[in-house]
Amino acid sequence: MRQASILYFCLGLLALFSGILVKAEDAYRYYTWTITHGTISPLGVPQKGILINGQFPGPTVDCVTNDNIIVNVINKLDEPFLITWNGIKQRKTTWQDGVQGTNCPIPPNSNWTYKFQTKDQIGTFNYFPSIGIHRVAGGFGGFNVQSRSVIAIPYPIPAEEFTLLIGDWYKADDKVLQQELDQGFPLPLPDALLINGLSQGATFTGEKGKTYKFRVSNVGIATAINFRIQGHTMTLVEVEGAHTIQEVYDSLDVHVGQSVTVLVTLNGSPKDYFIVASSRFTKPILNTTGILRYAGSNTPPTLPLPIGPTYQIHWSMKQARTIRLNLTANAARPNPQGSFHYGTIQVVRTVILANTAANISGKLRYAVNSISYVDPATPLKLADWFNIPGVFTLNSIKDAPTNAPAAFGTSVIGTTLHDFVEIVFQNTETTIQSWHLDGYSFYAVGYGSGVWTPDKRKKFYNLNDAVSRHTVQVYPKSWSAVLVSLDNKGMWNLRSAIWSRRYLGQQLYVRVWNNEHSIFTENDIPPNALFCGLAKHP
Ligand SMILES: *[C@@H]1O[C@H](CO)[C@@H](O)[C@H](O)[C@H]1NC(C)=O
Ligand SMILES: *[C@@H]1O[C@H](CO)[C@@H](O)[C@H](O)[C@H]1NC(C)=O
Ligand SMILES: *[C@@H]1O[C@H](CO)[C@@H](O)[C@H](O)[C@H]1NC(C)=O
Ligand SMILES: *[C@@H]1O[C@H](CO)[C@@H](O)[C@H](O)[C@H]1NC(C)=O
């Protein structure tokens, strides 16, 4: 008996050591990022931007599955600052998520070092500032995670790859826009769309006959886009970390906060071609162009621009349903993506979240199931870890829409580690929505118009090969449904990716919890954690 337990103890130690050894093999990538205000003029007029090491947009993080990413962020702004890593799952390390529910802001003139792993991930992601509406001034960048060389990817290795950060843009400074929101007004239509910080002329050069990978993220705050390349088709290969069925598209909708990866073969006559992004569902329509250049070309691109969809909702919904998981492809691990069989797992809970515009004390706010979220001074995660009472409660939001008038609150949904949950996003408004969950990918199983009812499951759900992603669009007066396996302990932000909505309350947190304190399910608080609010250094 005793010998057996010693044996088990030794085996346990061995397992722990090999765990540490495996970890040591994963590369470390170190970054030092100095955040400053500086003058930029993407639309030809000087404005105050947020720069990283003097750059706008910020530097691209290029790394490999399981790399350790160490980013020392030096805040030289005159206000608190945080960066969040959009789509990086922060497995067991909600501590590094960089939103106000998990982290104290980095004060001005100080620094804080993020340490996380791109554990079991591949794909196209991005990062951006998470406090207030900083991100309308910049501070964002690409975050690309390559497959390990030992894992086969389901397409030939492209000649080269390009990162395209496309998003809407305002001429006004973030402080001016924030004031509008604080006074209770919605933001106006953005002034333009940008590709990699340029309103036109961003150029990507390749050789005739070769195939290139385009990693496209919508880093905007309000506007869904349609993306296309004159004279060329695009083969979709990956969406937010999942390999897709390789469908060929003339144009693709990319909603706010989403990313897609496409392959483009340069099979035209050697010249320049327009790359176009145009806004969806806005009046007027915003367009921006870049250039696909065949190496050596001195023939400029010719008008007209390729046409894309503008207001058509049905077109977009139909296209969304064609984006499916390749069940036999690997993602970050050698086991195929289809081996999880999400469609056969019993749902233990259904949460229906309805967004509404609300008028609270005479000001515009947005609410989810009648609660308009406000950040407490103490990050939820710190309150949870140190059992600080009075910061949040678990019955702060209902599992279904209510008729109660909208009110301020700190909404946290309490769930149990490994729960398999259905979340239905019900859009009661006439504008398009984008919902994002930190820490996870979810299966985007269904889109439909009108009000969701349980019988929609049979009729509309894809329970076989729905794509797994971190951000889902919800069409006007429609619903979108996702299934998620809550296997990542922590406190996770569930938010509108449309940033003025998030800022005015359209967000909440999902607490994924079990009572067992174990480093196998969640890392301890990092030694460099910052403290604020009611959380004091222990
Ligand atoms: C701040 O930066 C210095 C190096 O310049 C580093 O030694 C220190 O660990 C950083 N502080 C935090 C809290 O990350
Ligand atoms: C912008 O794109 C839309 C959608 O394709 C199109 O209808 C519109 O004519 C374009 N505008 C310009 C100036 O090319
Ligand atoms: C799915 O992935 C496999 C690799 O496992 C690849 O051979 C196949 O072409 C992909 N299928 C489609 C339809 O994209
Ligand atoms: C909110 O309600 C007040 C009256 O209580 C009204 O004066 C104001 O215009 C409303 N604001 C919005 C944004 O609807």
Per-residue pLDDT of 335-371, as tens digits, reads: 999 999 999 999 999 999 999 999 999 999 999 999 9
Nearest CA to ligand 1 atom 11: 112
Confidence at residue 143, expressed as pLDDT on a 0 to 100 scale: 98
Q: Name the band, by pLDDT with cuts 50, 70 and 90, for residue 537.
A: confident
Q: Identify the residue whose tokens are 């921006």.
A: 288
Q: What is the pLDDT of residue 411?
A: 98
* Residue 468 located in a structural domain: yes
Q: Which residues pair with 65 in a beta bridge?
A: none
Q: Which of 138, 163, 133 is nearest to 42 (CA)?
A: 138
Nearest to 267 by CA among 233, 296, 291, 236: 233
Are 145 and 263 spatial neighbours (Cβ–Cβ below 8 Å)?
no
Reported as a single tens digit per residue, the pLDDT across 51-92 is 999 999 999 999 999 999 999 999 999 999 999 999 999 999
Beta bridge partners of 371: 368, 407
Local confidence band at 25 (pLDDT 50, 70, 90 cut-offs): confident
In a mutational test of the pocket of ligand 1, which residue from 113, 114, 528 has the highest number of ligand atoms less than 8 Å from its CB?
A: 113
CB 280 within 8 A of CB 193: no
Tell me what the pLDDT averaged over the chain comes to. Answer: 95
C-alpha distances out from residue 318 to 37, 233, 314, 315, 477, Å: 42, 18, 6, 5, 16
Residue 234 within a domain: no
Nearest CA among 347, 348, 367 for reference residue 359: 367
Question: Is residue 448 within 6 Å of ligand 2 at its C-beta?
Answer: no
Q: Per-residue pLDDT for 419 more than 90?
A: yes
d(CA 466, CA 187): 34
* Closest C-alpha residue for ligand 3 atom 7: 154
- Mutate which of 53, 72, 112, 114 to test ligand 1's pocket (most atoms within 8 Å of Cβ)? 72
To which H or E segment does residue 510 belong? strand 507-513
For the record, the structure tokens of 269 come out as 């006559």
**Tokens describing residue 114:** 């993020």
pLDDT in tens, 489-498: 999 999 999 9
User: What is the average per-residue pLDDT within 185-212?
Assistant: 98
Q: Determine the Cα–Cα distance for residues 197 and 137; give it in Å rounded to an integer.
A: 11
Reduced to 3 states (helix: H, G, I; strand: E, B; else coil), residue 239 is: strand
Higher pLDDT: 515 or 16? It is 515
Residue type, 33: W
Tell me how far apart the alpha carbons of residues 169 and 223 are, in angstroms, rounded to a whole number. 10
Q: Which amino acid does the sequence have at 465? A: D
Ligand that lies nearest to the alpha carbon of residue 151, given by its number in the listed order = 3
Q: Is 33 near ligand 1, meaning CB less than 6 Å away?
A: no
Q: 111: Cβ below 6 Å to ligand 1?
A: yes
Report the nearest-CA residue for atom 5 of ligand 3.
329
Provide the number of structural domains found in the chain: 1
User: What mean pLDDT do residues 246-259 have?
Assistant: 98
Instruction: Look at residue 462 and tell me whether its pLDDT is greater than 80.
Output: yes
- Structure-token pair, residue 93: 């390390």
- CA gap 234, 239 in Å, rounded: 13
Stated pTM of the model? 0.94
Does pLDDT of 5 surpass 90?
no
**CA 24 to centroid of ligand 1, rounded, Å:** 22
Beta bridge partners of 420: 485
Residue 415 lies in a domain: yes
Q: How far is the CA of 402 from the centre of ligand 4 (A)?
A: 21
Give distance in angstroms: CA of 194 to centre of ligand 3.
33
| Other CB atoms within 10 Å distance of the CB of residue 488 | 22
Dihedral Cα 261, 267, 271, 276, nearest 10 deg: -30
Residue 477 lies in a domain: yes
Please choose, from the candidates 361, 206, 355, 383, the residue with its C-alpha nearest in 3D space to the C-alpha of residue 294: 206
Report CA torsion sign: 86, 189, 286, 323: positive
The number of CA neighbours under 13 Å toward the Cβ of 535 is 23
CATH number at residue 478: 2.60.40.420
**Residue 285, ligand 2, Cβ within 6 A:** yes
CA of 73 to the centre of ligand 1 (A): 9
Give the sign of the dihedral formed by CA 187, CA 193, CA 196, CA 199.
negative
Q: CA nearest 225: which of 100, 335, 128, 316? A: 316
What confidence tens digit (pLDDT) does each residue in 432-458 have? 999 999 999 999 999 999 999 999 999
Three-class SS of residue 253?
strand
**Atom 11 in ligand 2: residue holding the nearest Cα:** 287
Is it the case that residue 20 has pLDDT exceeding 80? no
CA of 324 to the centre of ligand 2 (A): 29
Is residue 26 situated within a structural domain? Answer: no
Band (4; pLDDT cuts 50, 70, 90) = very low
User: Quick one: which atom of ligand 2 is closest to the CA of 305?
Assistant: 14
Question: In 164-187, which positions are buried (b, 16+ CB within 10 angstroms) versus exposed (e)?
Answer: bbbbbbbebebeebbebbeeeeeb
* Residues contacting residue 416 through CB under 8 Å, at least 6 positions apart: 486, 512, 513, 514
The DSSP output letter for 188 is P
DSSP lists the bridge partners of residue 449 as: 478
Q: Which ligand is nearest to the CA of 235?
A: 3
Residue 102 gets the label, from left (phi > 0), alpha (psi -120 to 50) or beta, of alpha
Domain assignment present for residue 369? The answer is: yes
| Count of other CB atoms within 10 angstroms of residue 5 | 9
462 lines ligand 1 (CB under 6 A): no
Q: Which atom belonging to ligand 2 lies closest to the Cα atom of 304?
A: 14
Domain that includes residue 395, residue range? 337-513
- How confident is the model over 240-248, as a mean pLDDT? 98
For the segment 209-215, the average pLDDT, to the nearest whole number, is 98
Q: How far is CA 111 from CA 71, 76, 85, 101, 107, in A?
A: 10, 9, 17, 19, 8
Amino acid at 257: G
User: For residue 153, how far is its CA from the centre of ligand 2 (angstroms)?
Assistant: 36
Nearest CA to ligand 2 atom 6: 307
- Nearest alpha carbon, ligand 1 atom 12: 112
The answer, yes or no, to whether residue 38 has pLDDT greater than 90, is yes
* Conformational region of residue 130, where left means phi above 0, alpha means psi within -120 to 50, and beta covers everything else: alpha
Give the position, in ligand 4's atom list, of the atom nearest the Cα of 362.
1
Please give the average per-residue pLDDT across 381-405, as a whole number: 97
The rounded distance, in Å, linking the Cα atoms of 448 and 446 is 7
**Within-domain flag for 403:** yes
Task: Kindly tell me the sign of the dihedral angle through the C-alpha atoms of 90, 92, 96, 102.
Answer: positive
Give the distance, in angstroms, between the CA of residue 341 and the centroid of all CA atoms in the same chain: 24
Residue 395's pLDDT is 86
6, pLDDT greater than 90? no
High-pLDDT (> 90) share of the chain, %: 94
Say if 323 falls within a structural domain. Answer: no
244 lines ligand 3 (CB under 6 A): no
Give residue-wise pLDDT tens across range 497-517: 999 999 999 999 999 999 999
